[in-house]
Amino acid sequence: MPLLSARLRYGAAAQIFHWLTAILVVAAYILSPGGSEQRVYSSAADFNRQTHETLGTCVFALTLLRLLWRSIDRTPEDPPMKPWMMRSAKIVRVALYGLLIAIPVAATMGAFLEAHPLTLWAIGNIGPMFSPRHDVGQTVAEIHTTLGNVILWAAGLHAVAAL
Interface residues toward ligand HEM, by CB under 6 A: 25, 28-29, 32-34, 40, 49, 52-53, 56-57, 59, 103-104, 107-108, 110-111, 118, 141, 144-145, 148-149, 151
Smallest gap, in angstroms, from Cβ of residue 152 to ligand HEM? 7
**Residue 118 backbone dihedrals phi, psi, to 5 degrees:** -90, 130
Residue nearer to ligand HEM on the CB measure, 5 or 32:
32
Give CB contacts under 8 A, 24+ apart, made by 21-26: 21/59, 21/62, 21/63, 21/66, 21/100, 22/155, 24/55, 24/58, 24/59, 24/62, 25/59, 25/100, 25/151, 25/152, 25/155
Smaller CB separation from ligand HEM, 5 or 25: 25
Please, what is the minimum distance in Å from the beta carbon of residue 47 to ligand HEM? 13
Could you give the CA distance from residue 140 to residue 149 in angstroms, rounded to a whole number?
Answer: 14
CA pair distance 9, 65, nearest whole angstrom: 20
The single-letter code of the amino acid at 47 is: F
Nearer to ligand HEM, 5 or 108 (CB): 108
Which CB sits closer to ligand HEM, 5 or 57? 57
With a CB cutoff of 8 Å and minimum separation 6, the contacts of 134 are: 113, 114, 115
- The CB-of-85 to ligand HEM minimum distance in angstroms stands at 26
We find the least distance from the C-beta atom of residue 40 to ligand HEM, in angstroms, to be 4
Measured from the CB atom, the residue of 5 and 114 that comes closer to ligand HEM is 114
Q: How far is the CB of 111 from ligand HEM (least distance, A)?
A: 5
